[in-house]
């Protein structure tokens, strides 16, 4: 069994990190509706829905810890009251369930460590057991790259699928493939031979996407796609779509 296994049908994975079992989700983007309303999109808050989806996953996989793989918040600067409240209630209720929380800080998380009540790592990530975690907006720390599996978010990878009559649909995807040492320049020596890179889909489906099968789209992370040029894409239900190199 892999150290990191997606939860079937969900934008979340279970990771074995030392003696702990962790539920890992990327790009929660609490409060994204406020930003969309500011852009003219009429949308009610889905904070309760997001929270209950996460709690249902906690019940399903019984983790010791939830690891938020960056961008727990959306506002970048100081969050509004509703966004801050969403995060505070989320963490309080995880604590009530006896589940610890770790935030691997992302580019949207601002000064969240000054007020949030959970462990917050630096932006270049953390290694827990034999799994490395980084958000992906900056270069991962050498200790992250030395893990057997490196997990990142930030990209919100998705595909646009079409049928024979011209219909289309959008699906979030996982990207998984060998971690290429040469993509990390002076940090290359830290990359373990045979290591795997896992790019997580966004937990929040309102937060935009990197289209990995649309011509002209680029990646956001400074090390992609070079860090895994032969990554394969998988739908949330596990369907293998095949190799998705840079487009």
How many separate domains does the chain show? Answer: 1
Q: Phi, psi at residue 36, to the nearest 5°?
A: -70, -35
The candidate with the shortest Cα–Cα distance to 106, out of 119, 126, 122, 90, is: 122
The torsion defined by the Cα of 151, 156, 162 and 167, in degrees rounded to 10, comes to 150
CB 203 within 8 A of CB 236: no
For the chain, what percent of residues have pLDDT higher than 90? 65
Rounded (10°) CA dihedral 11, 14, 20, 26? -20
- Domain encompassing residue 200: 4-243
Q: What is residue 112's DSSP assignment?
A: G
2 confidence band (pLDDT: 50, 70, 90): confident
Find, among 58, 224, 216, 213, the residue nearest to 154 by Cα.
Answer: 224
Statement: residue 223 has pLDDT above 60? yes
Domain CATH for 155: 3.60.21
Please check whether residue 122 is in contact with residue 89, taking contact to mean a CB–CB distance below 8 angstroms.
no
pLDDT value at position 215? 73
pLDDT higher than 80, residue 77? no
What is the average per-residue pLDDT within 183-195? 91
Q: Encode 172-212 in three state secondary structure.
A: EEEEEEECCHHHHHHHHHHCCCCCEEEECCECCCCCCCEEC
Mean pLDDT of 8-24: 96
- Whole-structure pTM value: 0.92
Mean pLDDT across 160-167: 72
pLDDT at 208: 79
Task: Give the tokens for residue 106.
Answer: 């992302």
């Amino acid at each position: 069994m892999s150290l990191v296994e997606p939860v079937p049908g969900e934008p979340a994975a279970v990771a074995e990190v030392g003696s702990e079992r962790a539920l890992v989700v990327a790009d929660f983007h609490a409060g994204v509706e406020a930003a969309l309303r500011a852009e003219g999109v009429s949308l009610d808050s889905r904070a309760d829905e997001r929270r209950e989806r996460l709690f249902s996953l906690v019940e399903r996989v019984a983790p010791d810890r939830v690891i938020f793989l960056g961008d727990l918040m959306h506002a970048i600067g100081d969050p509004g009251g509703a966004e801050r409240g969403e995060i505070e209630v989320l963490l309080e209720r995880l604590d009530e369930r006896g589940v610890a929380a770790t935030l691997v800080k992302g580019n949207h998380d601002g000064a969240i460590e000054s007020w949030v009540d959970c462990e917050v790592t630096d932006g270049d990530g953390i290694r827990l057991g034999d799994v490395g975690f980084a958000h992906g907006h900056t270069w991962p720390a050498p200790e992250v790259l030395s893990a057997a599996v490196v997990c990142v978010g930030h990209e919100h990878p998705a595909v646009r699928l079409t049928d024979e009559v011209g219909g289309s649909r959008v699906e979030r995807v996982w990207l998984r493939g060998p971690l290429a040492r040469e993509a990390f320049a002076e940090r290359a020596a830290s990359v373990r031979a045979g290591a795997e890179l896992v790019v997580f889909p966004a937990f929040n489906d309102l937060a935009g996407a990197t289209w990995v099968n649309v011509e002209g789209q680029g990646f956001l992370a400074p090390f992609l796609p070079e860090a895994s040029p032969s990554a394969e894409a998988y739908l949330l239900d596990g369907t293998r779509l095949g190799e998705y190199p840079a487009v």
